[in-house]
Amino acid sequence: ARAMYGTTATLGIIPTGTQNNVGLSLGIPTEIPQAIALLREGKKLKVDMGIVRSGNTTMPFLEVCSVGLFTALFNSTDGIQHGDISRIGDFLSTLTSCCPSKIRLLLNDEHVIEGDGHAILISNMPYVGRHYQVGKENCYNDGLLDVLLCTDVSKLSLMVGYMLRKTETQDDQRVQHYKARSLVIDTEPAMPVMADGKDIEKGQVQIELRKHALSIMAGSPSSKTQQKKGEKLEKQ
């Protein structure tokens, strides 16, 4: 998606990853034959992308940019999800050593929010993490980013609520939820920054939305519904 950002090319997705949040968000089936068929039979969507700047790095992102605790824990959590139990020690060490930072958000160059907290999530897709729903079904082309500020939430609650179980932001009143076209994030001490799984330099984080910046072959809302039903049946 980063390579195709701003071009006339169209991205086709065959979801074979761990969580497949982009595929889920766009109604792309997890079964490979159906996903391939969608490359011919699906509909072309123009989706938004975010642009994050921090330090000397500028990077487009399709799914999510995270600042703070989730970023610090990403590598060990990803290893554990892929069966590397030796990363449990790294996970626990990082979790216990992470301290909250003073956070200042500037939304749309006019709205300032301040508080102490562990994490900020800036999402362009409705699903992130373990299929945690942060936005409406079509938020990938609504011209706005979903901004989640976790200030009054303990580290344990964040892990249980947002990494271990599937839920929605509306279920937790402790998470402040905003919509923005652009934002500036200052943290003290500086928190780690990541966009779509790629580490970025610490420092002031500037993010803006680029509307309809990428073409993707997508499915229908019914595909998304069937995928969620399949997950529930599998769990049962």
Whether the pTM exceeds 0.75: the reply is: yes
143/153 Cα distance (integer angstroms): 28
39/28 Cα distance (integer angstroms): 10
131 torsion bin: left (phi>0), alpha (psi -120 to 50), beta (else): left
* DSSP codes, 11-65: E-----SSS-HHHHHTT--SSHHHHHHHHHHSEEEEEEEEEEEETTEEEEESSEE
Strand-pairing partners, residue 79, are none
* Bridging pattern class, strands 10-11 and 205-218: parallel
Burial class (CB in 10 A: 0-12, 13-18, 19+), 12: middle
Output the CA torsion 127→198→74→29 (10° steps).
Answer: 30
Model confidence pLDDT, tens digit, residues 87-118: 677 767 766 767 788 999 999 999 999 988 88
* Local confidence pLDDT in tens for the 236 residues of the chain: 999 998 999 999 999 887 899 999 999 999 999 999 999 988 999 999 999 999 889 999 999 999 988 776 666 666 666 677 776 777 677 667 677 889 999 999 999 999 888 889 999 999 987 788 888 988 999 999 999 988 766 655 555 554 444 444 445 556 889 999 999 999 999 999 999 989 998 899 999 999 999 999 999 755 454 455 445 444 44
pLDDT at 128: 85
Residue 193 CA, chain-centre distance (Å), reads 12
